[in-house]
Amino acid sequence: MPTSVAPPAAKELEAVLGSAQVVWTGIVDAVEEMFAPLDRLWKPSKSEFGRMCLLQHKKRTLLYLTPDADKVRVAIVLGGRSYELAMASEIPAAIKKLLSEAKPYAEGRGIRFPVSDPADIPVVATLVRLKTVSA
């Protein structure tokens, strides 16, 4: 596992996110509302920004966030039960398509998608909630 790196300065994060700053804050706040205390662990990334943020609760990674120009790249892994619940839920068809096309691994199905509209924050929150449903 890559070592952690220093978190970016607030100004650096704001500069790359631009109009997506509200999306970043909204996602972090929504996840923290469900799973406080929330730890933010920064890791090296091959993205242009060079770092990604893991949102963790009690050492369990709930979500991966990578800042990008005017969007937040979200990555999440859903286990078998969470996948089934997601497919039966009201999440958008585009997200269900990503999930159904994702290769299943022992740890689950991982998907990545960009979020640039604050209206999509509840979708991300729903995925995190479904991820944490007990088997």
Give 47-62 pLDDT, tens digit per residue. 999 999 999 999 999 9
For position 77, what pLDDT does the model report?
A: 97
The encoded tokens of residue 115 equal 């979020």
Cα–Cα distance for residue pair 99/87, rounded to 1 Å? 8
How large is the average pLDDT for residues 65-86?
Answer: 97
| CATH 2.40.370 describes domain 10-131 | no
The encoded tokens of residue 53 equal 């943020």
**How do beta strands 60-68 and 71-78 pair?**
antiparallel
For position 109, what pLDDT does the model report?
A: 97
Task: Kindly indicate the confidence band of residue 134, based on its pLDDT and cuts at 50, 70 and 90.
Answer: low
Spell out the domain ranges in the chain.
10-131
